[in-house]
Chains A and B, each alone.
Chain A
Amino acid sequence: MIHDFHYLRPDSLQEAMTMLSEYGDRSKILCGGQSLLIVMRQGMVAPEYVIDIKHLNELNYIRFDEKKGLAIGATTTHRAIEKSDVIKRRYPVIADMENRLASIQTRNWGTIGGNLAHADPAGDPAPVLIVLGAEITLASLKGERTMLLEEFFVDYFTTQLNEDEIIKEINVPVLPPRSGCAYQKFNLLRNDMGIVGVAVKVTLNEAGVCTDAKICLGNAGRVPIRARKAEGAVIGQKYDEKLFAEAGKIASEECEPVSDIHASEEFRRHLVSVLTRRMLVAAWKAI
């Protein structure tokens, strides 16, 4: 049962920020509501004020610039991202990830800003965006700040967002040449939340040597985790499946998964190991 609340509908980002600064932790931003309404229904969250930003078209955009890269406004829906031509062309890994995020209905209404703010460790966009080096911009009446997305997540369902802040935009830099990305979540039903998910980005030099690698593990800890040791194992190396298997093992030791009804900790580690190896192969092949 959802508790009663005051419903506020700002007409601009400015107005939304004003409301946030006024009501602070007595309020909650509502965007697509695909996550928030569920927790409100369970009574886990009961704000006095709900600030509905779903209709803020000001934040609903996908822009691409050859220098600055990709900018996605916070209220852009998953579906819009999945269907975006420029994203399909320039960042197919994002479009593919979105295609397996929940169902069409949820993607039609749920937004990227809401997904990241919700900070479910099983969320799909975060690992992918993190390996792409994405930044997130938060705004409040006090001003804006931008940080790497991987620094945004603090704990289960907790982020750097202050109570007066709103996510404004996500930026994804242009991929360096000879880069490849891949993401896969392991689940039993095609569109289910991932039991674990692994995203990989690699960049090679002309000799085929890996100059940069980013590996991010979803649902393998409290927040999306960078597998830095595993990354270290492949940087400076050439395509080598044995090495990738080794990197997978390293990644499985770097993460902190839990046991739940869907998988034991041990199985999650095993999956991290297998998927890391497979995604390294896939990322390499995507170049």
Chain B
Amino acid sequence: MEKKLLRFKLNGLEYEIFINPKTLLVDVIRDHIGFTGTKKGCESGSCGACTVMVEDMAVKSCSVLAMQVEGMNVTTVEGLEKNGKLSPIQEAFLDYGAFQCGFCTPGMLMSATALLKENEGKVLTEEEIREGIEGNICRCTGYNSIIRAIEAVSKGEYKEG
């Protein structure tokens, strides 16, 4: 199969790679580039473990052809911290115990980050937060600790910087 050139930005860095065009975004991120924070938990677009942000929008990277992000900005969990400093939502996840096995966590953090970005300056209701992470399955936590963590950030309890 003829390979195609894909150019996009991952966590702020420009990448140029040749791929089989059928390659899924998640596999480009994990296998071709080597950021393994993003996980996979199903083959049906159902679990959200592979959630990344494309242009600040949460998407399931297992359900996006990598070629489709040509020229776009993609952010994964590895892109949340800045020079070793965790982002507010990462800090909140630690304080609220919003993870257990941690396998859903990278995807969960990306859904949460996209939700918070979309609603910057607004205090989210519990309902809105629940809807915001509805696409992410967590088998361990029962979600409520995650809701509390997102709520805390939304209320401004954690400051960027």
Contact = CB atoms under 8 A, between A and B. Distances in A.
Interface of A: 2-7, 9, 30, 33-34, 37-38, 41, 50, 52, 54-55, 79, 99, 102-106, 108-109, 190-191
Interface residues of B, number: 31
Interface stretch (B63-71, B78-86, B88-96, B142-150): B63-71
Nearest to A5: B22
28 contacts: A2-B22, A2-B24, A3-B22, A5-B22, A6-B2, A30-B65, A33-B68, A38-B45, A41-B43, A52-B68, A55-B68, A79-B57, A103-B135, A104-B114, A104-B132, A105-B48, A105-B59, A105-B60, A105-B63, A105-B135, A106-B60, A106-B63, A108-B54, A108-B57, A109-B54, A109-B60, A191-B134, A191-B135
Contact of B58 (A7, A52, A108): A108
Nearest 8 pairs of A and B residues by beta carbon: A103-B135, A7-B21, A4-B1, A105-B60, A2-B22, A105-B135, A108-B57, A109-B59
Interface in B111-161: 111, 114-115, 131-132, 134-136
Contacts of B134: 103-104, 190-191
B44 A38 contact: yes
B20 interface: yes
* Residue among B20, B44, B51, B65 with most chain A CB within 10 A: B65
Given A3-B22, A4-B20, A52-B68, 7 more contacts: A4-B22, A6-B2, A7-B4, A99-B131, A104-B115, A105-B135, A109-B60
Nearest to A55: B68
Interface of B: 1-2, 4, 20-22, 24, 43-45, 48, 51, 54, 57-60, 63-65, 67-68, 70, 111, 114-115, 131-132, 134-136
